[in-house]
């Protein structure tokens, strides 16, 4: 967002335009200590296996594996990682008091074509001395990853960049489905969807099954790439994740599509739609 080498706008003026103090720009985060980073890696791996574990169960799991930890620490780390236990909540509340939560539009809907529904999610990516966040935009029907971004913060900007890239490359979907995370309920993110007349759909709170295809992607990515390489830094993480996503899209066989890759399914379905004399109902 801020370019310190910009000759037209001074650093002070750029910070003023973004309502950001100069001290915030120069501030370098302290980061987590090595023990917390180790715990975060263990939490991430266990959460893939048992996404219904809250902080209490996660503490019990870590104690059984030999770590003396308290619930306060684990709750903070899970919140930092963006992890929330899956459960049926009797009360749905907005993740941000000023953000609108939209209804879930996919119940009973037959998703049978590319670009009918897109979805998105964010996951935690561990690296040697810290962690990153990864967001993907996925086509629901074909499971194709349309775009992605890595960031060292959970600010909304990297999510917006991924969304704008997907729209630029693939056009617009009829419906865009997200969870109720503050990045996706934010004005900046929803404004992009509205500007393209895309219907907004949001999962119920704690309802991970509403976005199950992205959850399955995370599991495959973590076990087939992230946990195998133990990235040293962000550049290595970006390179290896890029290679894996290319493999996933282009050559990784998908059992739901008789061994075809997501890219093959996405392209074949678009060609079928364009060649069909029937006009599909929205």
Cα gap 26→234, rounded to integer Å? 20
In this prediction the pTM is 0.74
Please give the chain's pLDDT, 282 residues, in tens. 556 666 677 766 666 555 444 444 444 445 688 899 999 999 999 988 888 888 999 999 999 999 999 999 999 999 888 887 765 443 323 355 567 889 999 988 999 999 999 999 999 999 888 889 999 999 999 999 999 999 998 889 999 999 999 999 999 999 999 988 889 999 999 999 999 999 999 986 545 556 788 988 999 999 999 999 889 999 999 999 999 999 999 999 988 888 999 999 999 988 777 766 554 444
- Beta-strand relationship, 117-127 and 130-139: antiparallel
- Structure-token pair, residue 28: 């370098």
């Amino acid at each position: 967002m801020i370019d310190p080498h910009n000759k037209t706008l001074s650093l002070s003026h750029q910070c003023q335009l973004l309502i950001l103090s100069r001290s915030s720009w120069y501030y370098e985060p302290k980061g987590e200590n090595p023990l917390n980073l180790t715990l975060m890696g263990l939490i991430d791996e266990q959460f893939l296996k048992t996404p219904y574990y809250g902080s209490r169960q996660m503490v019990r799991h870590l104690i059984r594996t030999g770590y003396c930890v308290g619930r306060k620490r684990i709750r903070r780390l899970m919140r930092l990682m963006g992890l929330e236990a899956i459960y049926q909540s009797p009360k749905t509340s907005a993740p941000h008091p000023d953000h609108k939560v939209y209804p879930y539009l996919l119940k009973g809907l037959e998703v049978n074509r590319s670009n009918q529904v897109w979805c998105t999610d964010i996951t935690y990516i561990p690296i040697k001395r810290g962690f990153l966040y990864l967001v993907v935009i996925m086509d629901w029907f074909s499971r194709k990853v349309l775009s992605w971004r890595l960031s060292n913060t959970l600010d909304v900007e990297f999510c917006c960049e991924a969304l704008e890239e997907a729209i630029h490359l693939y056009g617009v979907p009829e419906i865009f489905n997200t969870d109720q995370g503050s990045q996706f309920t934010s004005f900046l993110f929803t404004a992009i969807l509205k500007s393209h007349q895309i219907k907004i759909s949001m999962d119920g709170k704690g309802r991970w099954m509403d976005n199950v295809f992205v959850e399955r992607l995370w599991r495959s990515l973590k076990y087939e790439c992230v946990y195998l390489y133990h990235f040293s830094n962000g550049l290595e993480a970006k390179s290896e994740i890029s290679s894996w996503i290319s493999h996933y899209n282009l050559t990784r066989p998908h059992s739901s599509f008789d061994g075809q890759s997501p890219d093959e399914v996405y392209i074949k379905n678009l060609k079928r739609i364009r060649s069909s004399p029937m006009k599909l109902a929205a």
